[in-house]
A and B are shown apart, each in its own frame.
Chain A
């Protein structure tokens, strides 16, 4: 159906009709701004910088309320076990323990919506654990966290241990024990996803070389600096909730389904600053379970309840990394790839994405066969950490690197040779760009040119295993690429209000802050669109004004919220100009004339928060003067004066309330929805110590074509920040389980090694602005992708150094030494 037909009625303003055209935006931004004053300008600093640097920023973990009790959960000591019986009497009699919620409590439903993403119902307080460390059986509230922890140790549980399985490939075997017979009673295989394009057999026949290899990835997790937590209090009969959750509006909906239903307008939400969780935790099916238990216990005790996880408990699940993938690739001698077949097994997730989606989305390779099997094992649930594309990004990186190596070609030439989309080449892609109204630019080429220059590729690239440095280490260079992340589906509503008294603007919309500084970008957009000074626009996302804004973990930040802010801002500007030329009010003393009499809205404009007449800029009025004062100090001033017998000669200051809302909805960017035109390329220089196996990353260059930069600091922050997370993911981070007991061995930050400041010597960031994105002003996303694309880059870089492939991530020193041994 065309957008016009979907429109419920003829929209009143021009902006509304523009908006319908942009719904489900499948083409270039038709209504860009001509001039940018704040958007894309360097030196616009984040709005929350002072609060965060000065230690003033408050997180849910910091919340304390009068009489607050602390909730801690019992966790399973076994990877797969059922509670047969439980004695909580000793725990209950410990002084300071206020209540204990048990799995068999009559008030607990067997299942409820306690999820952050889907509407699935799961046990609120399960009696069966499917991984070691899972919250099961009991929740204790006490006067302090220490007392609650002591009480947990006094609970006596009779467990029935079940057989367990930790290895995803072994879990597919016919003899393998069932990892989760409750949800998957017949087999550990949860889902299979097959993509078949073209004819791979034909591709093998056309190829000069066939390359086969296998890649392995270990269990990786998010590590949220602030562990999962929340506060629940009953404000009379209705909830007041503090959520550390990336989807506050979804959590509000979830809460509204509890206890027979709670009206949405009675739920008071607080979504404070968040020690980020990068998409992890909050999309999991039990991510609101803590809140449900806290809600029951808060009502029972009549006190606010704060539930917290320990650092160990934040290792609840992981990212969608763990698994194995087998590749078969056919290529011609000139680097043209003719076919790719990839068969992947991935653990504990419900998103069977990849492994070859990126080949469809940004290569001309016509013959592709991909099969992805998701398998349940007895480890925590996996979800999209940073994003769900790690397998896809890794496949693209490794296939291209292996092909370049087998054919003795520069990997950059292989990338350029195969760039395209949907099995078609760049000529076809360029034609699509032109048809959709985009400028025809070659994003990959532009990215590669910038990156090559920054890392001095032509001088430094060498055949694998051939460059020994004076310090005795082997030198290696790596390169990888893919498309830039286009944002996916969702909807958002946001509004802007002009404040009385000083004429500043407040953007309204609830979304969690997770550090990407999107708030600053929204203010830049609103300031430019209305014509205000940047410092006059503010956005406090922690406040719930009832408008829901898309969340970062929905892969939909700027593209959706940016449009919503822009639409609101454009309509608000129109409203201001209309109000400025219309009579302002009628009172007992007569009407107030327009602020700009005998003019039309088209005669006026706004710049630096001042309304002025275009033909005579000296005829001006600041927004603050225009909106006037609040309450009786405002329009009533005149009346007050008249009571004293004096008549004011001053222009009365008053305007109607100035408020406008905007919204946006889109299906998003998953395969076949819309073509991806923006590319990214990354370059890595390493030194490998052949005696210790240590990989030292001496330089990384990130080049991202973000279409249009809105906020420089924000974009660059995602580049170097994502690189650090990617380095950890690629060479040191690995959750290890004991194969005999199934117990997680390194659920702490001493033994689970995330990157420190010293793990990369230099990171250089480059941004390309081709305008080839579908977001406002031609922008695409940047927050998810670098941490997802960089991990695999460690592989080709280490290969180039030592001349041996280690397709087993993370590439830890022991694996490097093993590879050197094999050599």
Chain B
């Protein structure tokens, strides 16, 4: 058998033809020098951080974020009501802003941080308890969209006025007409959060004094 000649360089860079001994070194070079992924992600694969958990999902170009959340990942809180960005029932928080997941293409969401009603409930956000206390739901189909929109408001504006709440929620439609209860629930949730913050501050102060 003919002996294969031994070469020093085992692989070369497709961008600049630089040669490397090991594949791992080449990968590091491509990331560092060419700001690129050495192994391109398969087409349609996106990464999403949903409620602080990482997901890798293959999506078709036409799929909406609502479809991915609801039909592929089982997060059924993002409801389809109007299907055209009018009613807010599919609202999720993306990178801190409320967005309509029925009008958002999933393939454009690669790398995004998303918060859904499931995450808001999992963290025991006071909005949930206040919604229950105020009976701010009837058939309940649109309710998660209201809760998510309200959470986005409180994240940005911890002490909203009545008008600010009404303005924030005006884009959410409820056919049962539960509207009057939502501002009351949101207002109370804001107070709960305020109290929680005060408790934390007080605890920190006490802790300091003890130390």
User: Taking beta carbons and an 8 Å cutoff, which residues of A are in contact with B?
Assistant: 45-46, 48-59, 61-62, 64, 146, 223-226, 273-276, 278, 310-311, 513-517, 713-714, 717, 720-725, 748-750, 754-758, 760, 763, 787
Within 8 A of A (CB), among B55-92: 62, 70-71, 74-84, 86-87, 89
Contacts of A278 in B (CB 8 A): 175
Contacts of B117 in A (CB 8 A): 54-55
Distance in Å from the Cβ of B92 to the closest Cβ of chain A? 11
Most buried by A among B74, B84, B138: B138
Closest A residue, CB atoms, query B70:
A62
- Closest-by-CB residue of B relative to A312 is B83
Q: Are B175 and A276 in contact (CB under 8 A)?
A: yes
Residues of B with C-beta under 8 A to A714: 135
A713 touches B135 (CB 8 A): yes
In the complex, what distance in Å separates the CA atom of A774 from the CA atom of B121?
42
Q: Which among B147, B166, B171, B173 is the interface contact of A55 at CB below 8 angstroms?
A: B147
Contact B139 A274 (CB under 8 A): yes
Asked whether B83 lies within 8 Å of A49 as measured between CB atoms, the reply is: no
Bound-complex Cα distance A645 to B144 (A): 59
In the bound complex, do residue A50 and residue B128 qualify as a contact, i.e. CB atoms below 8 Å apart? yes
Shortest CB distance A277–B (Å) = 9
- What are the interface flags for B172-204 relative to A under an 8 Å C-beta threshold, 1 for contact and 0 otherwise? 111111111110000000000000000000000
Closest B residue to A765 using CB positions: B180
Does chain A have a CB within 8 A of B100? no
Q: Is B116 part of the binding interface, using a Cβ–Cβ cutoff of 8 Å?
A: yes
**How many whole Å from A723's CB to the nearest CB in chain B?**
7
Partner of B121, one of A56, A310, A717, A750: A56
Nearest to A762 among chain B residues (CB) is B180
Q: Is B142 in the interface zone, CB < 8 Å from A?
A: yes
> Do the beta carbons of B178 and A64 come within 8 Å of each other?
no
**A749–B81 CA distance with the chains assembled, in angstroms:** 9
B63 closest partner in A (C-beta): A146
Which chain A residues border B128 with CB–CB below 8 Å? Answer: 50, 53-54
Min C-beta distance of A146 to chain B, whole Å:
7
List residues of chain A with CB within 8 A of the CB of B138: 276, 514-517, 717, 721
Q: What is the CB-to-nearest-CB distance from B26 to chain A, in angstroms, rounded to a whole number?
A: 39
B176 touches A515 (CB 8 A): yes
CB-nearest residue of chain A to B137: A52
Q: Which residue, of B139, B142, B166, B174, has the highest number of chain A Cβ atoms within 10 A?
A: B139
29 A-B pairs with CB atoms under 8 Å apart are A45-B133, A46-B132, A48-B140, A52-B137, A53-B132, A54-B77, A59-B79, A223-B175, A225-B89, A226-B79, A273-B139, A275-B81, A275-B141, A276-B176, A278-B175, A311-B83, A513-B139, A514-B138, A717-B138, A720-B179, A721-B177, A724-B174, A724-B177, A748-B86, A750-B86, A755-B179, A756-B170, A757-B169, A757-B172
Q: Give the residues in chain B near A273, CB-CB below 8 Å.
A: 139-141
A54, A64, A311 interface centre (most CB from chain B within 10 Å): A54
Q: Is A749's CB under 8 angstroms from B139's CB?
A: no
**A311: contacting residue among B79, B82, B141, B178, CB under 8 A:** B82
How far does the alpha carbon of A662 sit from the alpha carbon of B79 in the complex, in Å?
37
How far, in angstroms, from A172 to B118 measured CA to CA in the complex? 55
Q: Mark B83-127, 1 if CB is under 8 A from A, else 0.
A: 110110100000000000000000000000000111011000001
- Residues of chain B contacted by A54 (CB below 8 angstroms): 77, 117-118, 120-121, 128, 144, 147
Instruction: Report chain A residues within 8 Å CB of B170.
Output: 756-758
Instruction: Flag whether B136 is at the interface (Cβ < 8 A).
Output: yes
Q: Smallest distance from the beta carbon of A68 to chain B beta carbons, Å?
A: 10
List chain A residues, Cβ under 8 A from B140. Answer: 48, 51-53, 57, 273, 275, 515
Complex contacts, A757 vs chain B, CB 8 Å: 166, 169-170, 172, 174, 179, 182
| Closest residue of A by beta carbon distance from B165 | A757
A225 near B84: Cβ-Cβ < 8 Å: no
Nearest A residue to B171, CB-CB: A756
Which residues of chain A are within 8 angstroms of B74 by Cβ–Cβ distance? 64
Q: How far is the CA of A758 from the CA of B182 in the complex (A)?
A: 12
Q: Within 8 Å CB of A223, what residues of B?
A: 175
Contact A725 B177 (CB under 8 A): yes
Contact B82 A748 (CB under 8 A): yes
| Distance A226 CA – B75 CA, assembled complex (angstroms) | 16
What chain A residues lie within 8 Å of B127 (beta carbons)?
53
Query: How distant is A467 from chain B, measured CB to nearest CB, in Å?
Result: 26
Q: How far is the CB of A744 from chain B (nearest CB, A)?
A: 15
The interface bits of chain B over 128-165 (1 if a CB of A lies within 8 angstroms of the residue's CB, else 0) are 10011101111111111001000000000000000000
Complex: A125 Cα to B89 Cα, angstroms: 32
Question: Closest CB of chain A to B115's CB: distance in Å?
Answer: 12
Report chain A residues within 8 Å CB of B137: 46, 48-49, 52-53, 515
Additional 18 contacts, C-beta under 8 A, given A50-B128, A276-B139, A754-B173: A55-B77, A58-B76, A61-B80, A62-B70, A225-B87, A225-B89, A273-B140, A276-B176, A516-B138, A717-B135, A721-B177, A750-B82, A750-B84, A755-B177, A756-B173, A757-B166, A757-B174, A757-B182
- Please, how many angstroms separate the alpha-carbon atoms of A723 and B179 in the complex? 11
- What residues of chain A lie closer than 8 Å to B136, measured between beta carbons? 53
Contacts of A51 in B (CB 8 A): 140
Q: Which residue of A lies closest to B88 (CB)?
A: A756
Say which residue of A46, A722, A758, A787 sits within 8 Å of B135 (CB atoms).
Answer: A46
- Residues of chain B within 8 A of A723, CB atoms compared: 177
Interfacial chain A residues near B133, Cβ < 8 Å: 45, 49
- CA separation between A64 and B140, bound complex, in Å? 20
| Nearest-CB residue, chain A, relative to B185 | A53
Give residues 38-52 of B contacting A (CB, 8 Å).
Answer: none
Query: CA separation between A146 and B64, bound complex, in Å?
Result: 12
Query: Is the CB–CB distance between A53 and B131 below 8 Å?
Result: yes
Least CB distance, A262 to chain B, in whole angstroms: 30
A55 touches B177 (CB 8 A): no
User: Which residue of chain A has its CB nearest to the CB of B141?
Assistant: A275
CA distance A721 to B179 in the complex (A): 8
Pick the contact of A763: B80, B89, B166, B180 (CB < 8 A). Answer: B180
| Chain B residues closer than 8 Å to A758, beta-carbon distance | 166, 170
Shortest beta-carbon distance from A743 to chain B in Å:
18
Shortest Cβ gap from B33 to chain A (Å): 41
* Minimum distance in angstroms from B120 CB to a CB of chain A: 8
Are the CB atoms of A717 and B178 closer together than 8 Å? yes
- B131: chain A residues within 8 A (beta carbon): 49, 53
In the assembled complex, the Cα of A755 lies from the Cα of B179 at a distance in Å of 10
User: How far, in whole Å, are A713 and B132 apart by their CA atoms in the complex?
Assistant: 11
Collect the chain B residues with CB atoms within 8 Å of residue A514's CB. 138-139
Residues of A within 8 A of B141 (CB): 59, 225-226, 273, 275-276
Please give, as numbers and ranges, the residues of chain A lying within 8 Å of B176 by CB-CB distance: 276, 515, 717, 721, 725
B177, A722: Cβ atoms closer than 8 Å: yes
Closest-CB distance, B181 to chain A (whole angstroms): 8
B119's closest neighbor in chain A, by CB? A55
Which residue on chain A has the smallest CB distance to residue B116?
Answer: A55
Complex: chain B residue closest to A52, CB-CB? B140
User: Given the complex, which residues of B lie within 8 Å of A49, measured CB to CB?
Assistant: 131-133, 135, 137
Chain B minimum-CB-distance residue to A727: B177
A720 pairs with B173, CB closer than 8 A: no
Q: Which residue of chain A lies nearest to B169 when distances are taken between CB atoms in the complex?
A: A757
A57–B137 Cα distance when bound, in Å, is 12
